[in-house]
Amino acid sequence: MDRRTFVTTGIAAGTALALGKSPLAFGLGRADEIRVAVAGIRSRGWAHVQGLNRLEGVRVVALCDVDQRILENRQRELAEKGTETQIYRDFRDVLARDDIDVVSLGTPNHWHAMQTVWACAAGKDVYVEKPVSHNVREGRLMVEAAKRHGRIVQTGTQSRSSS
């Protein structure tokens, strides 16, 4: 990708997200929707689900958490609103799905780096909560994985990443 394409795409995607639409609304996607799995849905990840469900062209299709009760309750809440999801306790099962484009990580901090590297290797783009990593080495491994696998990885700090 050349610099001009990168800048144009970035501006369009940023504008779309600021307007509460997915970049697909501006013709940037490769399909008619972005399919997302959210991991760690007890607290922060549940906020991800709610925010993602408000975006046009984005669909949360899978939830992952080690707590079966949380999974079942969250799946039931979404079903009551008309959103069908699959649930998983093992993140590796999520990564095995070919129909998931993005994983959103709201998992405990010590999982962020490893899950990001795994997701990139599985061909998924990643949104990962802060802290991205516990040390510089983990962060470098994440950057290397994103580059090696041609993936997009974004981290968020709410005061800078959300409207």
pLDDT in tens, 59-97: 999 999 999 999 999 999 999 999 999 999 999 999 999
Residue 7 has pLDDT above 50, yes or no: no
Give the range among 61-70, 125-134, 141-150 with minimum mean pLDDT: 125-134
Percent of the chain with pLDDT over 90: 67
Give per-residue burial for 78-93: e unless 16+ CB within 10 Å, then b: beeeeeebebbeebee
The residue type of 118 is W
Integer Cα distance of 46 and 84 in angstroms: 15
Stated pTM of the model: 0.79
